[in-house]
């Protein structure tokens, strides 16, 4: 694995070509699963975990790492009703960063895909249907010597994702729904 210190020392503000290149775009979707709860609690960064059976389109095409793209949450959900409800702004196509892998800092046993949507939500939304389009790669997963440096890098990832999406061939993916309005399946 690449040295975390070497990598962290120079982070480019924008990544990827001006036009998404294969294997991107990669589309993933499924009902949001409950994760370890660490994202919000330890890192101040909530993540929506995709179900294991939704990962094949990306695990077959690319490696573990941090990615950027867009996400859309649906009002359709499985399981118990949530406490609050999502409004129109929460249901739009929104920018996201995604971590794919085994979180070396935490040493998970299995690969997960966790999506952090760059938006302030009024409530959590476990069980809701989530669709994402992954448009590019930001960096490899790193092991960290402190939680603070992981938090700092996630904040950098968010800026890099926003800069990278702010190019016409990327932004156009935010102009049409990722979720088919008729039915999620
Ligand atoms: N976990 C790691 O162990 N190493 C990483 O480099 C790493 N980068 C992340 C980048 C982003 C944008 C996000 C949302 C998560 C990242 N994580 C990383 C995963 C993090 O450990 C995980 O979301 C929490 O532990 C909650 O499961
Ligand atoms: Mg999560």
- Encode pLDDT of 97-137 as tens digits: 999 999 999 999 999 999 999 999 999 899 999 999 999 99
Q: Whose CA is nearest to atom 15 of ligand 1?
A: 99
Q: Which residues are catalytic?
A: 114
CA 40 to centroid of ligand 2, rounded, Å = 8
Of 157, 42, 180, 15, residue with least CA distance to 100: 157
* Residue numbers in the chain where pLDDT is lower than 70: 1, 81-83, 181-185
Which one of the ligands is nearest to 126 CA?
2
Alpha-carbon gap, residue 13 to 83, rounded angstroms: 38
Which one of the ligands is nearest to 33 CA?
2
Q: Determine if ligand 1 sits within 6 Å of the CB of residue 66.
A: yes
pLDDT at 75: 92
Q: Determine if ligand 1 sits within 6 Å of the CB of residue 49.
A: no
Alpha-carbon gap, residue 129 to 106, rounded angstroms: 27
Domains of the chain, by residue range, sit at: 4-12+21-175
User: Which atom of ligand 1 lies closest to the CA of 157?
Assistant: 12
CATH topology of domain 4-12+21-175: Elongation Factor Tu (Ef-tu); domain 3 (2.40.30)
pTM of the model: 0.95
């Amino acid at each position: 694995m690449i040295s975390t210190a070497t990598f962290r020392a120079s982070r480019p503000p924008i990544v990827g070509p001006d036009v998404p290149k294969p294997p991107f775009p990669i589309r993933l979707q499924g009902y949001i699963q409950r994760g370890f709860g660490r994202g919000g609690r330890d890192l101040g960064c909530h993540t929506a975990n995709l179900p294991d059976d939704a990962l094949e389109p990306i695990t077959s095409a690319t490696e573990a790492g941090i990615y950027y793209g867009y996400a859309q949450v649906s009002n359709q959900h499985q399981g118990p009703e949530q406490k609050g409800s999502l409004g129109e702004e929460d249901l739009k196509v929104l920018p996201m960063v995604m971590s794919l892998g085994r979180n070396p800092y935490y040493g998970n046993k299995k690969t997960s895909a966790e999506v952090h949507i760059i938006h302030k939500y009024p409530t959590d939304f476990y069980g809701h249907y989530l669709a994402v389009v992954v448009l590019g790669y930001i960096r490899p997963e790193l092991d960290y010597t402190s939680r603070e440096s992981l938090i700092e890098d996630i904040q950098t990832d968010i800026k890099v994702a926003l800069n990278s999406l702010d190019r016409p061939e990327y932004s156009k993916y935010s102009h049409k729904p990722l979720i088919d309005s008729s039915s999620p399946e």
